[in-house]
């Protein structure tokens, strides 16, 4: 009878790029530095730039955004870099002050929708049963209507104003957060460490605060980053239709609406449209990059 000898396993260095490549693993999560992602860096610069503009609008704007001039519909020139509108107001100044209105309002919409949807999603996912069924049917009811149509109906019912526009967008936005967080909670709820915590006598509130929320917040943060650009776009859409901030507030959607009356004066609507485009694109790129960082499986094939 032959004696068999066993050899000790050879240690594998998972930090070696060649080993990770052989195992089919990718380096998107922890091993790809930010400076090697130029698109993400550009999006960060754009978002930081607009936040700086919103904070320093009164310093950067060359004119008062409400100041009227006799030079109506003046094309871009040295005196007015982005031209003037039908009342002779400087478009560049209104654009800069519009960032102070549109971006903070979008942040408020996202934070409120995340708070409402997050709480309802946590409750539905953790308690389950009839509570989960009732809350999910409520989300289905909101999802049954197109977002912009429901937002228009709510805003028109309460009356056109900044507060009502924010309220309308929160009402149509919270269900998507509730669905995402509920899904994450259902995944976490089946983990062994949560069962062990229950056996040790940990209460539901403590379990939610200590175990469930920290392990479920990642997808919600990614979604909030993506939805920030959508909030800017939806707010501009309501203002374009006259259901947002009231004139003469320098809001980007309202500025585009003024330019739509005479398309030959292209500068009135093009520059606010470009501002919305840059913010939405930057938020989408940041959301994708953050999603890849949190879950590298999404980076496969890129």
pLDDT at 188: 77
Q: List Cβ<8 Å contacts ≥24 apart for 71-78.
A: 73/262, 73/265, 73/268, 75/267, 76/267
pTM for the full predicted model: 0.81
pLDDT at 295: 62
pLDDT at 1: 46
pLDDT at 94: 93
pLDDT at 194: 67
Cα distances from 250 to residues 61, 85, 207, 240, in angstroms, run 12, 12, 46, 12
How far apart CA 47 and CA 180 sit, in angstroms, is: 25
pLDDT tens-digit map of 40-77: 889 999 999 999 999 999 999 999 998 888 888 889 99
pLDDT at 282: 94
What are 236's two structure tokens?
A: 């501009």
Residue ranges for the chain with pLDDT beneath 70 = 1-35, 190-195, 197-198, 202-205, 295-302
Query: How many other C-beta atoms are found inside a 10 Å radius of the C-beta of residue 58?
Result: 12
pLDDT at 34: 62
pLDDT at 195: 65
How far apart CA 21 and CA 296 sit, in angstroms, is: 14
- Domains of the chain are 81-299 (1.10.3720.10)
Q: Which of 260, 263, 235, 270 is nearest to 249 (CA)?
A: 235
């Amino acid at each position: 009878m032959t004696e068999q000898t066993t050899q000790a396993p050879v240690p594998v260095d998972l930090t070696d790029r060649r080993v990770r490549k052989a195992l089919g693993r990718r380096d998107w999560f922890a091993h790809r530095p930010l400076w090697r992602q130029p698109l993400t860096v550009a999006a960060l610069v754009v978002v930081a730039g607009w936040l700086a503009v919103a904070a320093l609008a009164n310093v950067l704007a060359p004119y008062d955004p409400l100041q009227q001039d006799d030079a109506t519909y003046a094309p871009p020139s040295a005196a007015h870099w982005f031209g003037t509108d039908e009342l002779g107001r400087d478009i560049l100044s209104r654009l800069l002050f519009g960032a102070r209105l549109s971006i903070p309002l979008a942040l408020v919409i996202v934070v409120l929708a995340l708070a409402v949807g997050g709480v309802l999603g946590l409750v539905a996912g953790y308690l389950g049963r009839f509570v989960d069924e009732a809350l999910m049917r409520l989300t289905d009811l909101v999802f049954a209507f197109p977002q912009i149509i429901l937002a228009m109906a709510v805003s028109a019912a309460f009356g056109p104003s900044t507060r009502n526009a924010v309220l309308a967008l929160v009402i149509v936005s919270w269900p998507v957060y509730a669905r995402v967080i509920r899904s994450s909670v259902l995944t976490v709820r089946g983990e062994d460490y949560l069962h062990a915590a229950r056996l040790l006598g940990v209460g539901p509130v403590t379990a939610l605060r200590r175990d469930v929320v920290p392990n479920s917040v990642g997808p919600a943060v990614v979604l909030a980053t993506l939805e920030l650009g959508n909030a800017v776009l939806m707010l501009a859409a309501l203002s374009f239709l006259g259901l947002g901030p009231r004139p003469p507030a320098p809001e980007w959607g309202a500025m585009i609406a003024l330019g739509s009356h005479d398309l030959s004066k292209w500068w009135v609507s093009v520059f606010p449209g470009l501002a919305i485009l840059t913010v939405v694109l930057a938020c989408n790129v940041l959301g994708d990059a953050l999603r890849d960082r949190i879950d590298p499986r999404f980076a496969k094939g890129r």
